[in-house]
Amino acid sequence: MKKLFIFGLTLCTLNVFAQRNTESLKNNDLDFKYRISFPAIIIGNIGEGGERTNTQHFELHIKKELNAKNIVGIKLATWRLFQPMGIQWWDGLLDKIDSETEFYPGYLRETGIGITYQRMLWKGLFASVEVLPQYKTYLDLDNKKIANGFKLYTSYHIGYHFTFGKKKQFYIEPQFHCQNWMIDTNTPDAFKQIDNRWKSYFLFEPNLYIGIKF
């Protein structure tokens, strides 16, 4: 709930930035060819320490504008899962976090380096796809390694690009995305029994990215 509150609070600033965005898109002309961004949700992990539901999420995007429509990049990411990612909103995702009924008997750490492609569709509206091969490490509750595996994680995004600042160098990108992981290997039985009750995809995750161009 803390993370959702932070996301909602940040989203309230969009009205201010939206008023400035149309002019910035017209004047952009690739003044800045590179950009770095991260999801605001990772801020919610700060201060949680060793809490059971702390995902220890770190994610960084480094991108280059090929032209006004096409942007490519590299994605660096790592996170720790305490329950399956495939529990949907309508399955009672938040309730299951509160009740702890679907918690793993430990943790799943996923780390990877992937590629991204972003296509500007109309003004600030964009669509993007990200492909992230991940190295999986399964841990018990004492953070001792149980097993390793591999996952191919892909995500599909739709959002809007808002710029602000004197030089329009800073930006935010509110968006929704869906993800799936059709390739997922070497899952320990105790974790797999829980995973099998849920999907190998997640739909309609809201997110907000914060970035700077240079």
Helix (H) / strand (E) containing 118: strand 107-122
CB atoms within 10 A of CB 107: 22
Termini Cα distance of the chain? 34
Q: Is 210 exposed, middle or buried (0-12, 13-18, 19+ CB in 10 A)?
A: middle
Q: For 26-50, what is the mean pLDDT? A: 77
pLDDT tens-digit readout, 2-11: 444 444 444 4
CA-closest candidate to residue 126, choices 54, 177, 165, 86: 177
CA-closest candidate to residue 207, choices 77, 47, 99: 77
By DSSP bridging, strand 145-160 and strand 170-184 are: antiparallel
| pLDDT(26) > 80 | no
| pLDDT(74) > 60 | yes
Task: Please give the residue range of the domain that contains residue 201.
Answer: 2-213
* Phi, psi (rounded to 5 degrees) for 35: -150, 150
Tell me the whole-structure pTM to 2 decimals. Answer: 0.84
CB contact set of 168 (below 8 Å; sequence gap of 6+):
20, 24, 27, 28, 31, 213
DSSP 3-state assignment of 59?
Answer: strand
User: To 10 degrees, the CA torsion angle through 187, 188, 193, 198?
Assistant: -20
Cβ–Cβ under 8 Å, residues 202 and 88: yes
Q: For 77-90, what is the mean pLDDT? A: 97
Number of domains in the chain: 1
Count of alpha carbons within 13 Å of 9, Cβ hemisphere only?
10
| pLDDT(75) > 70 | yes
Q: What integer pLDDT is reported at residue 48 of this predicted model?
A: 60
Q: What is the CATH number of the domain that holds 114?
A: 2.40.160.20
Residue type, 107: Y
pLDDT tens-digit readout, 189-209: 999 999 999 999 999 999 999
| pLDDT(93) > 80 | yes
Q: For 40-45, what is the mean pLDDT? A: 87
pLDDT tens-digit readout, 116-147: 999 999 999 999 999 999 999 999 999 999 99
Q: Write down the mean pLDDT value for the chain.
A: 88
